[in-house]
Amino acid sequence: KKTATLTVKPGSGVEVTGVKSFSKYVQVKRIDLGSGSSTIDITILPSAPVGELREKVVIGLKGATYNSINIPLFASVKGALRLSPQTVSFGIIEGSEKLQRSVKLDNVGELPIEITKVESSHPALTGTIREVKRGKKFVVNLEVDPSLVKKDLRASLEIVTTLKEQSNLSVNVYGIFPKM
């Protein structure tokens, strides 16, 4: 929930006539504070889909040059599953020993989940999952085999879960192949 304060200059003759959002994921409420000021409470509803949300709030005006003001609303809606970090760099990939990194996967939702599949987009990248707390906390172990990297590495590890709203998660993986 975010709050914005809208103040109309005293004596300007401008009046706020209403506040609207045409989005089914955004709720707005106007509270008059008197002397030309209003507070607008903007709430993103729990039904909003995971990802970027781009909407607008429209403020109706009377006695102004324009009949309304559009306020852009940008939000990043996070789901119950959180990967940290979502992007992993292996730096310069050289030598013969396999390189390893770890990523945390936390389930902040109420229901436990299972991981049903882990799949790599590149043969040099493999991933395994270790469950730390049943259905709630996991460690994703990433491993890169330098012998299979022939140019700069740009890959992803796809994680499939039993959570319908976030059935597919992705960890982006990068690495630099040294110039010879």
Q: pLDDT (tens digit, 9 = 90+) per residue, 5-14?
A: 778 887 888 8
Examine the domain organization and report whether 62 and 97 are in the same domain: no
Distance CA 13, CA 46 (A): 38
Other CB atoms within a 10 A radius of the CB of residue 164 amount to 6
Q: List pLDDT tens digits, range 66-81.
A: 889 999 999 988 889 9
Domain boundary among 61, 77, 93: 77
Which residue type, as a one-letter code, is found at position 14? V
The pTM for the full model equals 0.69
Examine the domain organization and report whether 63 and 145 are in the same domain: no
Which residue type, as a one-letter code, is found at position 151? K
Burial level of 165, CB count in 10 A (0-12/13-18/19+)?
exposed
Q: What is the CATH number of the domain that holds 33?
A: 2.60.40.10
